[in-house]
Amino acid sequence: MSAIAPIEAEAVARGPEPPVPGPPSGRPGGMLRVLLRKPLGVVALIVLGGIVIACAAAPLLAPYGPDASSLGRELAGPGPQHLLGTDELGRDILSRLLYGGRPTLLAAAEATAIALLLGTLLGTVSGYRRGLADRAISLWSDVLLTMPVLVVLIVVVSVFPASLYPAMIPLGVMLSAPPTRVLRAVTLAVREELYIDAARVSGLSHAQIVLRHVLPRIRGAIVVQATLVGAVAVVMASGLAFLGFGVQVPAPSWGSMVAEAASYYQQQPWFLVPTGGAIALTVLSLGLLGDAVRDAGVEVWGGATTTPQRRTRPGAHLVALNKPHEPQRDPGRGGGALLVVSNLVAAVPGGESGELTLVDGISFELSAGRTLAIVGESGCGKSVTARAVLGAPPRGGWLAGSVRFGGLELIGASRGELQTVRGRRIAFIGQEPTASLDPTQSVGSGLAELVRLYSGCPRAKAKRRALELLEQVRINDPARVARLYPHQISGGMAQRVMIARALAGQPEVLVADEPTTALDVTVQADILALLRSLQLSTQIAILLVTHDWGVVAGMADEVLVMYAGQTVEQGPAEAVFHSPRHPYSDLLLRSNPYRAAPGMRLPAIPGTVPAPGRWPSGCRFAPRCPYALESCTAAPIPLLETAKGHYSRCVRIDALQAARAAEAPTTETTGGR
Amino acid sequence: MGAEKSPLLEVRDLSVTFRRGRHTFKALNGVSLEVHHGEVVAVVGESGAGKSTLGRAILGLVAVSAGSIRLEGEDIDRIRRRGRGELARRLQAVFQDPYSSLNPVRRVRWALAEPLLVQRLPRAEILAKTSSMLVRVGLPADAAERYPREFSGGQRQRIAIARALMTSPKLVICDEALSALDLSVQAQIVNLLLDLRSELGLSYLFIAHDLAVVRHLADRVIVLRAGEIVEHGPVAQVCCAPMHPYTRALMSAAPVPDPRIEQARLSERVATLAKVSTAVL
């Protein structure tokens, strides 16, 4: 299980390569605007606003005075004259609720304001300054949390019996502990952001940085805390009044009204509904508002939308996507190939049409002992393609097309079928080895567990096999390393362990998604040599995803260049490097400073990779291509074989080759460094 | 050059020690270097070598435990004491992650104006400078009214560069400023840095791990390992004829986009691996 877990976990965690955030439909910064798109948030806001306004305007709205009683109509139920009925003295409940909300809400607001002011101040100071101030403030919050709130309040109320307001000061102080802690944690995270460093480099004082950067960044968290503290404060203020503290008898308050209702419960149960309901409604809408603000904050600043995860594959989509975008072509129609991918499509919900295509008709095949490298920039669909080979759709999305592996179709395969393949026959290693390892398990026991899962062999044998695997990935002292935990080993060592785990099922195909990107160059060289030597000894086929042409040059037999979800060029490595047949590959190779004269401008490609959903019709590279003609944008360009085994999606190859030929002498002179 | 005029940046015997509980860790140990006017000095090394700590120490973001840092012959602490923004006028930084280096809740205009706020410039001047700087780094002037999330990584890095140049500094510390960018965008930013250098006479202390970029941009290279300088010299010498075995290992490990060279190197490493393992078995 754990062999597959990292793959799925990563697939879920990263999903599609993040689309370049173009101007979104809603303008950012509009926290309120996002909030207003949330039905529950809107309802909560309206209810809360309505309650507050109605109580504030009680003298105008209330049908009766707070103490006006109609004789003979005691404890009446709701009716045309008294919408919510009357109490034991025949007073109108609605009117008393409106008047009674004023002291209750005001007291709650007082406590909330004190708690938030104090919490924000202490929380940001604690998180920003750290060190001694942090420790002192944390201790103070801990002390506050141990205080018996009700006892303290009752003491204060008995000293100032006339009103609730004095008691709200200690309540606010005691309620400041949770916001202090939460805002401290949020500030700690914000403090690590580089814009704080940039502000310091610009000479801003700490106070300026907190005011200008930290507070605006954490204001969402402050609002959420306000709703939480507010709800508690309403309950506490009502509770005190319920107990008879801080109330002057005829004047109404929510808490004292509940107390009255409780004592006449036998005669008129209805009396409890409006009185308790007012408190419940207020607290509930505060809670819902808090939830909505938190979600809105995630949407506005987190970038990702909170679209619920959809793992189903709607049939309609499959049919629509399966329509071949172009005539089937050769690279995906294999004889002796181990893995045959044809017309692979991956999409996620989103965009204007309801689905966002991330990978748009990729075909390739992979034979034993060979390495195919998928190259391209981020946002081109490389990683999505790699995960699709394991039958894993992008987060919340679906796959179409075909991935055939040893007589089995992986797209649309059942979970059980995929389990027989993943890890056992197709293994995966990712970019962040340390994050992919279970931190609670030692390297050796994790590996042995995996061996047992795949082979079902006894514990002792699995342990021996685990040590063999560690030796196979050239770990010098396998017995010692087996006892270590993931946080105790370096990134390079962790990647070796990941490779050992990948080898545990003796797979035929290894999918390596940027396996060395996070590693230092010397470690990268070792890991690549290890992969190559394993390939020589086990004939494992490698699908290598990378953005580094240097890694491609050493490892790949065949290269597939992706751009905006499509294959733009595919062919033998040597041919792609020395005579690229697509302007994108050509320019990408030239952008590498290795081939340029030092200190001179590089032949950069203008613009950026278009995000999924913003792909141009016709040639997707045309807007950035120096050779593009008007005809390039007219219709989709097919991927055609231009030389044996060398495919290109370009109609301007002759222009590209002419330009390369004209430049050839200069490339010779500068290329020799 | 250094003989007639004091160097722009002069670091002498710089040490930085981090304390974690009872453990201390020397991130930098007696590092000395100079950056002259208009020069690009690259600092290379692997993770944990102290590259970024060096940059952060010069910027005053980590505490220095020993040694001195002088900017144009004046001690950097004295400049800082003369007033906020004194140092910011001469020394600025571009950081690695363009997603983290811009506050997501603030408009671009606001980010660019920030360094000038400390300089107490009139509002109109700040506005004019913001627009012209955006255009200078290759962004539309109306980018000022947008939020960082509306820009791609490369564009954000342009914004970060624009912010660093607002105070017209003499020295910009680029801490892995290109590492988070895709190849085609990286080339755009390299070009921008080159252009700005020749137009404004900037100097860069260029902290990087990508040797191809360093070879392209730098005049001199400093190789750091475990907090100490193992080799330094002109780029051609360090990259093409490295003296120290560590530098040599670093240079030969950096993959080059040429299958003939790279496959030969890889086969050699695989052969070494095989030799080692037969010796072990």
Residue A55 has pLDDT above 50, yes or no: yes
Q: Is A69 helix (H, G, I), strand (E, B) or coil?
A: strand
Q: Which residues of A22-31 are buried (b: 16+ CB within 10 A; e: fewer)?
A: eeeeeebbeb
Q: A379 with A399, same domain?
A: yes
Separation in Å, CA of A234 to nearest CA in chain B: 32
Cβ distance B269 to A526 less than 8 Å, yes or no, reads: yes
Enumerate residue ranges in chain B where pLDDT < 50: 1-3, 279-281
List, for residues A144-180, the tens digit of each pLDDT value.
Answer: 999 999 899 989 988 888 888 999 999 999 999 999 9
Closest partner residue to B191 (CB to CB) among A303, A377, A601 is A601
B138 touches A: beta carbon within 8 Å = no
Residue type, B183: L
CATH number at residue A218: 1.10.3720.10
Residues 6+ apart with CB under 8 A from B81: none
Q: Which residues of A321-358 are buried (b: 16+ CB within 10 A; e: fewer)?
A: beeeeeeebebbebeebbbbbbbbbbbbbbeeeebbbb
Whether A505 contacts A421, CB under 8 Å: no
Report the pLDDT averaged over residues A272-296.
92
A217 touches B: beta carbon within 8 Å = yes
C-alpha A528, offset from chain centre:
31
Residue A309 has pLDDT above 70, yes or no: no
CA angle, A667 as apex, A662 and A673 as ends, to 5°? 175
How does strand A509-513 pair with strand A541-546?
parallel
What average pLDDT is seen over chain A? 86
Separation in Å, CA of A430 to nearest CA in chain B: 18
Cβ distance A217 to B191 less than 8 Å, yes or no, reads: no
Structure tokens at B83: 């007033």
Q: A640 with A509, same domain?
A: yes
Phi and psi of B13, rounded to 5°? Answer: 50, 45
Examine residue A589 and state whether it is found in any structural domain, yes or no: yes
Partners of A520 on chain B (C-beta within 8 Å) are: 46-47, 209
Residue A431 has pLDDT above 90, yes or no: no
Report the pLDDT averaged over residues A576-591.
93
Give the per-residue pLDDT at A300: 64
* Residue bearing the bigger pLDDT, A77 or A186: A186
Residue of chain A nearest B247, judged by CA positions = A522
A216 touches B: beta carbon within 8 Å = yes
Partners of A28 on chain B (C-beta within 8 Å) are: 104, 147, 149-150
Residue of chain A nearest B250, judged by CA positions = A522
Examine residue A11 and state whether it is found in any structural domain, yes or no: no
Whether A425 contacts A508, CB under 8 Å: yes
Give the per-residue pLDDT at B55: 95
Q: Is B241 helix (H, G, I), strand (E, B) or coil?
A: coil
Give the per-residue pLDDT at A318: 39
Distance separating alpha carbons of residues A410 and A360, to the nearest angstrom:
18
DSSP-derived secondary structure letter, A610: P
Among A386, A424, A415, smallest CA distance to A403 is for A386
Whether B256 contacts A549, CB under 8 Å: no
Give the per-residue pLDDT at A303: 42
End-to-end CA, chain A: 49
Distance separating alpha carbons of residues B15 and B259, to the nearest angstrom:
42
- Cα dihedral A597, A598, A600, A603 in deg (nearest 10): 60
List, for residues A452-472, the tens digit of each pLDDT value.
Answer: 999 888 999 999 999 999 998
Report the pLDDT averaged over residues A639-667.
87
Cβ distance A197 to B85 less than 8 Å, yes or no, reads: no
List, for residues A524-534, the tens digit of each pLDDT value.
Answer: 999 999 999 99
CATH number at residue A402: 3.40.50.300
Structure tokens at B100: 């983290």
The domains of chain B are located at 1-90+174-186+197-281, 101-168
User: What are the DSSP calls for A612-628, one per residue?
Assistant: TT-PPSS-TTGGG-TT-
Residue type, B202: L
Kindly report which listed range (A209-218, A307-316, B29-38) carries the lowest average pLDDT score: A307-316
Distance separating alpha carbons of residues A308 and B69, to the nearest angstrom:
54
Q: A386 with A483, same domain?
A: no
Distance separating alpha carbons of residues A562 and A610, to the nearest angstrom:
13
Beta-bridge mates of residue B71: B9, B74
Give the per-residue pLDDT at A229: 96
Number of residues that make up chain A: 673
CA angle, A20 as apex, A19 and A21 as ends, to 5°? 100
Cβ distance A524 to B91 less than 8 Å, yes or no, reads: no
Give the per-residue pLDDT at A333: 45
Beta strands in A501-611 (DSSP E): 509-513, 541-546, 558-563, 566-572
Whether A251 contacts A313, CB under 8 Å: no
A20 touches B: beta carbon within 8 Å = yes
* Count of Cβ atoms closer than 10 Å to residue A41 Cβ: 23
Q: A261 with A397, same domain?
A: no
Cβ distance A216 to B147 less than 8 Å, yes or no, reads: no
Q: Cβ-count burial of B82 within 10 angstroms (0-12 exposed, 13-18 middle, 19+ buried)?
A: exposed
Cβ distance A596 to B93 less than 8 Å, yes or no, reads: no
Structure tokens at A531: 């992969």
A587 touches B: beta carbon within 8 Å = yes
Beta-bridge mates of residue B70: B10, B75
List, for residues A122-137, the tens digit of each pLDDT value.
Answer: 999 999 998 899 999 9
Give the per-residue pLDDT at B6: 83
Q: Which of residues 6-45 of B touch A (CB under 8 A)?
A: none
Give the per-residue pLDDT at B72: 93
Q: Which of residues 318-337 of A touch B (CB under 8 A)?
A: none
Give the per-residue pLDDT at A331: 46
Q: Is A476 helix (H, G, I), strand (E, B) or coil?
A: coil
Partners of A602 on chain B (C-beta within 8 Å) are: 187, 190-191, 216
B262 touches A: beta carbon within 8 Å = yes
Residue of chain B nearest A673, judged by CA positions = B240
Separation in Å, CA of A654 to nearest CA in chain B: 23
Residues 6+ apart with CB under 8 A from B18: B24, B25, B27
Give the per-residue pLDDT at A9: 36
Residue A215 has pLDDT above 50, yes or no: yes
Cβ distance B114 to A605 less than 8 Å, yes or no, reads: no
Q: Cβ-count burial of A131 within 10 angstroms (0-12 exposed, 13-18 middle, 19+ buried)?
A: exposed
Closest partner residue to A201 (CB to CB) among B93, B100, B261 is B93
Range of A239's domain?
90-301
Residue A107 has pLDDT above 90, yes or no: yes
DSSP-derived secondary structure letter, A567: E
Give the per-residue pLDDT at A327: 39
Give the per-residue pLDDT at B162: 95
Give the per-residue pLDDT at B160: 95
From residue B167, how far is each of A540, B12, B133 by CA, in Å? Answer: 56, 26, 11
User: What are the DSSP calls for B6-72, one per residue?
Assistant: --SEEEEEEEEEEEETTEEEEEEEEEEEEE-TT-EEEEE--TTSSHHHHHHHHTTSS---EEEEEET
Q: A260 with A292, same domain?
A: yes
Beta-bridge mates of residue A356: A348
Domain count, chain A: 3
Structure tokens at A19: 């689309």
Among B177, B258, B207, B178, smallest CA distance to B54 is for B207
Closest partner residue to B184 (CB to CB) among A194, A532, A604 is A604
Closest partner residue to B100 (CB to CB) among A194, A204, A529 is A194
User: What are the DSSP calls for A182-209, one per residue?
Assistant: HHHHHHHHHHTSHHHHHHHHTT--HHHH
Whether B189 contacts B156, CB under 8 Å: no
Among candidate residues A283, A301, A319, the one where a domain is terminated: A301
* ipTM, 2 dp: 0.89
Closest partner residue to A548 (CB to CB) among B146, B160, B255 is B255
Closest partner residue to B216 (CB to CB) among A213, A588, A593 is A593
Structure tokens at B58: 């010069």
Q: A454 with A417, same domain?
A: no
Cβ distance B146 to A23 less than 8 Å, yes or no, reads: yes
Separation in Å, CA of A422 to nearest CA in chain B: 28
Whether A160 contacts A167, CB under 8 Å: yes
Kindly report which listed range (A165-179, A319-333, A584-598) carries the lowest average pLDDT score: A319-333
Distance separating alpha carbons of residues A665 and A668, to the nearest angstrom:
5
A520 touches B: beta carbon within 8 Å = yes
End-to-end CA, chain B: 58
Separation in Å, CA of A521 to nearest CA in chain B: 6
Give the per-residue pLDDT at B180: 84
Whether A355 contacts A349, CB under 8 Å: yes
> Which residue reads 């200078």 in tokens?
B136
The pLDDT > 70 percentage for chain A reads 89
Distance separating alpha carbons of residues A131 and A142, to the nearest angstrom:
17
Q: A531 with A600, same domain?
A: yes
Which top CATH class is B1-90+174-186+197-281?
alpha beta
Which one of A598-607, A655-664, B107-116 scores highest in mean pLDDT?
B107-116
> Which residue reads 């063999």 in tokens?
A468
The pLDDT > 90 percentage for chain A reads 61
From residue A527, how far is each of A38, A50, A370, B82 by CA, in Å? Answer: 49, 65, 17, 51
Report the pLDDT averaged over residues A282-311.
69
- Res. A588 pLDDT band, cuts 50 70 90: very high
The whole model's pTM is what?
Answer: 0.82
* Residue bearing the bigger pLDDT, A15 or A283: A283
Cβ distance B240 to A673 less than 8 Å, yes or no, reads: yes
DSSP-derived secondary structure letter, B255: -
Whether B167 contacts B92, CB under 8 Å: yes
Q: Which of residues 350-409 of A touch B (CB under 8 A)?
A: 377-378
Phi and psi of A366, rounded to 5°? Answer: -140, 130
B212 touches A: beta carbon within 8 Å = yes
Whether A497 contacts A505, CB under 8 Å: no
> Which residue reads 């003369």 in tokens?
B82
How does strand A566-572 pair with strand A646-648?
antiparallel
Q: A271 with A413, same domain?
A: no
Whether A502 contacts A513, CB under 8 Å: no
Q: A578 with A652, same domain?
A: yes
- Res. A325 pLDDT band, cuts 50 70 90: very low
Closest partner residue to A547 (CB to CB) among B182, B211, B272 is B182
A479 touches B: beta carbon within 8 Å = no
List, for residues B218-258, the tens digit of each pLDDT value.
Answer: 999 999 999 999 999 999 999 889 999 999 999 989 999 99
Count of CA atoms in the C-beta half-sphere (13 A) of B44? 32
Q: A516 with A500, same domain?
A: no
Residues 6+ apart with CB under 8 A from A416: none
Partners of B150 on chain A (C-beta within 8 Å) are: 21-24, 28
Examine residue A151 and state whether it is found in any structural domain, yes or no: yes
Separation in Å, CA of A33 to nearest CA in chain B: 14
Residue A58 has pLDDT above 60, yes or no: yes
Partners of B118 on chain A (C-beta within 8 Å) are: 202-204
Report the pLDDT averaged over residues A207-217.
92
Give the per-residue pLDDT at A572: 96
Q: A264 with A170, same domain?
A: yes
* Count of Cβ atoms closer than 10 Å to residue A361 Cβ: 23
Closest partner residue to A589 (CB to CB) among B154, B257, B273 is B257
Q: A444 with A488, same domain?
A: yes
Residue of chain B nearest A524, judged by CA positions = B253
